[in-house]
Amino acid sequence: MAHEHYKSCIDACNDCAVACDYCAAACLKEPDVAKMARCIQLDIDCAEICRLAVGYMARGSELAADICELCAQVCEACGKECAKFPMAHCQECAKACRRCAEECRRMASNQATSKTGQRPSASAH
């Protein structure tokens, strides 16, 4: 089954989405919410793309590696932003984002090396 092949990446994406949701909610309760705006925005973006990546992997989509590469980029940006803040929820989120970015890059890299055919281009449809 496709989802078993991607289990560690799916787990990392799910954990990251939960950490980002929690971080965004906790940031909204901070005294200076305006200072946290970019962190909150990236938390929301990151949680969404992590969930999207999980769906692609669970279905065994031929485009899962592409989505995971983008997910890694978003996770990296979110992790860097969260790491700027000392609060525990931001530090935990940054850690989850780094782990997810690493897993997504590893999965995307493994998929790229195991593909035997060419990726479909957008104009092929």
What SS3 string covers 77-115?
HHHHHHHCCCCHHHHHHHHHHHHHHHHHHHHHHHHHHHC
**pLDDT attached to residue 48:** 98
**DSSP characters over 19-76:** HHHHHHHHHTTSS-GGGGHHHHHHHHHHHHHHHHHHHHHHHT-TTHHHHHHHHHHHHH
- Contact of 20 with 97, CB cutoff 8 Å: yes
pLDDT grade for 12, boundaries at 50, 70 and 90: very high
pLDDT grade for 2, boundaries at 50, 70 and 90: low
pLDDT tens sequence across 56-109 = 999 999 999 999 999 999 999 999 999 999 999 999 999 999 999 999 999 998
List domains and CATH numbers for the chain.
2-112 (1.20.1270.360)
Two structure tokens written together for 103: 């897993």
**pLDDT attached to residue 115:** 59
pLDDT grade for 5, boundaries at 50, 70 and 90: confident
- Contact of 101 with 76, CB cutoff 8 Å: yes
pLDDT tens sequence across 21-38 = 999 999 999 999 999 999
